[in-house]
Structure 1
Amino acid sequence: MTEELSVLVVEDEPLSRDELVHLLRGVPGVGQVEAAPDAVSALKLLRHREFDAAFLDIGMPGLDGMELAAVLSRLARPPAVVFVTASQQHAVDAFGIGAVDYLLKPASAGRVRQALERVHRARAAPVPRAAAPPEPAGDLAVLKVESEGRTRYVRREQVRFVEAHGDHVRLDTREGRFLVRMPLSALERGWSQAGFLRVHRGYLLALRAVEDLRTDAVGQLVAHTAGGDVPVSRRHARQLKEQLFAAARDGRIGGVRR
């Protein structure tokens, strides 16, 4: 190793955190090592500096290691991620989201050194140029609504959530609910870059409209909005939590627009 690495450790257990920091500082080629007890503290550190690598515990309260890794991946210069956990059950998911290594607790000095070598190789690899994200479809920024012989126009920013109704969608707004003849998938494609997320097979949700996340009487996760509760399927729950967290961190949401 020739270039010193800066490393962030995120671990909620103090003894495990201190031991990992100690092991990392003992590896030649490692420069500064910072530690955080949770995801929120880690993101505060990342506001002021960049890290070459992040060693993340998976089973943390609040935003877990997998969810934090997904947030880190959207940084302008994301750190290489190494997961450190007591269980093997998340290994496939970990490598699926681009982790460079997966260490089982208690990690040995040799395995920590091996993980850092993989971090070096990952940083030395050429980074493919990312395609520019598509612009929101201009013709979907305003929707024409026909109702009872009247025509009105609903702007995208007025919509809190969208519900599928056969070959129509129903737009929930402060001014009321309106049916538009179009598939939900079309709005999902056109509005995905404007702060809308598919959270259920039949629902598209504006992140800015979410007041909080709740669990209803039957254990269903729902996003509470001023227009009502929107069901969130298990397959979409993690992405919704990640995007809400990132949006709140960046100041893109905070006050609820009713």
Structure 2
Amino acid sequence: MSITTFAVAGATGRLGRHVVDVLTERGHRVVPMSRATGVDVVTGQGLAEALTGAQVVIDVASWHSSDQEAATEFFRASARNLHAYGRQAGVARIAVASIIGADRATAGFLAAKRVHEELLLAGPLPVRVLRAAQFHEFVGQLLEWQPGDVAYVPELPTQLVACRVVAEELAGLAVAATVPGAPIPEIAGPRRETLAEAARLLGARRGVRVVGVDGAGMPDAEQAAAGAFLPGPHARLAGPTFREWLDAQP
């Protein structure tokens, strides 16, 4: 196996940590990029130095809130800088993690990810996109956003997937041979459920009562309820299920 030098944007984030682990385990050289390592994809600080010698950029940097406008500006700046500095450094390609259904989103964070995809794909460097279902880890975030012993979680269909599985798929996509005309690949978990169902499993362990709600008021809630953000027929489905993942947590 040839050794590749990867620069990972968002390396200290929820998904980024797994990407760094997977690449390291596979024997590649990894340059972690985040504000914690002195690299800012929005301002460009430290990017030139971090990308020197890198062959592939994996972009898993994300905005910290669901605000569409702020997230869009973050992704706009990061896409511009990764292309500009990457081209100067001789980077061969960028691989990026996106979200299943981003191409159909009209509002909220998913709409910002749609813009992110479009901007990256329009840039000078070749770009490979992997769309993933919501992470298993996202369920805990939903509960943490609502302090107290009751949490209201949408009864919206999903097919949750583990961050580690997404990281493995993205690392493979970054170095795989391209297939002209192939659809954008998707990765999701093996079981269809609702966010509220998964949250009840976690809530039972944390002493939180989860109340399912219809998702009214959420961006594109009608589309989501109809299954617009579920994986397509070409998606790769990979375990563990949310329950199996939860049982394996320390």
Structure (1 or 2) with the larger CA radius of gyration: 1
TM range, smaller chain: 0.3 to 0.5
Larger RCO: 1 or 2 (CA < 8 Å, sep 6+): 2
> Going by fraction, where is strand more abundant, 1 or 2?
1
TM superposition score normalised by structure 2: 0.37
